[in-house]
């Protein structure tokens, strides 16, 4: 690994926060289908990000997420009221963070700690606030600033421009293999937080390191 790392960039959804926290609310509204709807919701959300990017269009995170939710509910043969839709969208602002997140971020206090997401400020800020992580993050960056979804090169360039460091001085972390591939393609150093123990993407863009959770990244700290 190349050192020193000056900025640690974290993806948010799936990396710091468990997106499937919403399955409990899904189950409340749609008994015996909560987990399936949650899975379909996330899958369709990602598909819509990619489709909008390829089509040269941009829709903000809340719109994409809501449309994906409505699709997922219909896919599983259910109908949803406006109140249920609002409640499930609100659940996205109250996701559970993974158990090691606070401790790992705390140990990086001497470095720039950045979150960078397809989420928008109005979704990311309350999410961090409700989780009590605001003081553990130095900068919150959103693709909304450039209107280019990850994994486009322009999205990573936007994040880099906000930091004033070199590409090789960034360690980019995500639980999403496609995000790691995009960041590696851009020139960041990468650590794949492979929470689901999946195979590496077949894109010839292997991550620099692979860890089961965020604790592994602490080996990159020089002054530990």
State the catalytic residues.
Answer: 11
Tell me which residue of 156, 212, 163 sits closest to 187, measured CA to CA: 156
Bridge partners (DSSP) of residue 113 are 8
Alpha carbon distance 96, 94 (integer Å): 7
Tell me which residue of 102, 220, 104, 108 sits closest to 169, measured CA to CA: 220
Task: Pull the structure tokens for residue 99.
Answer: 């158990």
In contact, 105 and 131? CB cutoff 8 Å? no
Tell me which residue of 22, 174, 11 sits closest to 95, measured CA to CA: 22
């Amino acid at each position: 690994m190349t050192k020193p790392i000056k900025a640690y960039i974290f993806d948010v959804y799936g990396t710091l926060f468990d997106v499937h926290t919403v399955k409990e609310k899904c189950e409340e509204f749609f008994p015996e289908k909560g987990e399936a709807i949650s899975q379909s919701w996330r899958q369709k959300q990602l598909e819509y990000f990619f489709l909008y990017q390829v089509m040269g269009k941009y829709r903000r995170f809340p719109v994409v997420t809501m449309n994906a939710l409505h699709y997922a509910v219909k896919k599983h043969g259910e109908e949803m009221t406006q109140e249920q839709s609002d409640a499930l969208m609100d659940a996205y602002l109250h996701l559970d963070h993974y158990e090691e997140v606070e401790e790992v971020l705390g140990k990086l206090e001497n470095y720039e700690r950045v979150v960078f997401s397809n989420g928008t400020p109005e979704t990311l800020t309350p999410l961090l606030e409700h989780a009590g992580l605001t003081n553990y993050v130095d900068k919150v960056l959103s693709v909304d600033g450039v209107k280019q979804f990850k994994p486009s090169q322009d999205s990573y360039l936007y994040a880099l421009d906000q930091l004033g460091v070199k590409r090789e001085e960034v360690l980019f972390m995500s639980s999403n293999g496609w995000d790691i591939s995009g960041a590696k393609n851009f020139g960041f150093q990468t650590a794949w937080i492979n929470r689901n123990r999946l195979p590496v993407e077949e894109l010839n863009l292997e991550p620099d390191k692979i860890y089961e959770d965020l604790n592994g990244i602490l080996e990159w700290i020089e002054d530990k």
